[in-house]
Amino acid sequence: MAEQARQNGPAPEGEPRRGGRMRRRLRQAESANWLVCTILQALLTWVFLGLSKLSEGWPWEGQAKLLVLMAIVATWCMALRTIRARIQELFRFWRTPLEDAPGVPKNLPEPVVKAVKQYQAVYARQSVWWLRLTAAGITMPFFILPIFVSAVCVGLCWQRSTIDGDFLGLALLLSVLAAVVGAYFCWSIVPDAAAPAPARPRERREADPEDRGGGTAGP
């Protein structure tokens, strides 16, 4: 096989390779793949909710409710992971130079380049803002509820002027959970300082030379 490839010579420069097309599609469809996983997990959560309703009065009612809670948390995690993937795609779309985008002519007029870059910036900023707002909305219950219950536990100990180990232990556990939720939220919204910066044109071509063979300029 290797000898035959050497005899045939290298493939034409403009012909896209199968591996490059596959990698490009995987990068472009990352958020779509996570969205499909989130939808499937949400459907599984609805199934668990139905089982929880059917389990009322049965010995396995507690286990069914625990499965529902775990399924809800898993759906939330996947939803935030989907948002993170989409934000990263938008940042790459925004910060990639137009002349380096595959499928774009190299000699575009300067007014056209400026107009397209302005559109990229406005579209990416607005989309990222809405995605972060959505992430904050679905995270609030997982963050505010533990903080509220922790404050109630500490307030009860303060009111009784006693140190209740159970209340303080629960408050500490819920505070740690709230901190974990906050850290995961901050990671998922991709702060501007942590946004992926585009590689230099030469580095991008050396890292993935197959991407020059086609594609679209959009996100």
What's the rounded mean pLDDT across residues 132-148? 92
Question: pLDDT tier at 190 (50, 70, 90 boundaries)?
Answer: confident
Q: Which letter, b or e, does each residue of 41-65 get, where b requires 16 or more Cβ atoms within 10 Å of its Cβ? A: beeebeebbebbeebeeeeeeeebb
* Domain residue spans of the chain: 17-97+106-209
**Nearest partner of 131 among 184, 196, 96, 86, judged by Cα:** 86
Residue 193's pLDDT is what?
Answer: 60
Q: Which residues contact 208 (CB under 8 A, 6 or more apart)?
A: 20, 23
Residue 139 clears pLDDT 80, i.e. is over it = yes
CB distance 171 to 150 below 8 Å: yes
pLDDT of residue 27: 55
What per-residue confidence (pLDDT) applies to 207?
46
Span 134-145, average pLDDT: 92
**pLDDT confidence band for 5 (50 / 70 / 90):** very low
Q: Does pLDDT of 183 surpass 70?
A: yes
pLDDT digits (tens, 9 = 90+) for 114-127: 777 788 888 888 99
Higher-scoring residue by pLDDT: 194, 31? 31
Q: What pLDDT does 46 receive?
A: 93
Residue 78 has pLDDT above 90, yes or no: yes
Q: What is the pLDDT of residue 58?
A: 85
Nearest Cα to 32, choosing from 94, 81, 73? 81
Residue type, 194: A
- What single string gives the DSSP state of each residue in 79-130? HHHHHHHHHHHHHHHHHS-GGGSTT--S---HHHHHHHHHHHHHHHHHHHHH
pLDDT, tens digit (0-9, with 9 covering 90-100), for 9-54: 444 444 344 444 444 554 556 888 999 999 999 999 999 999 888 8
Q: Does the structure show a pLDDT above 70 at 209?
A: no
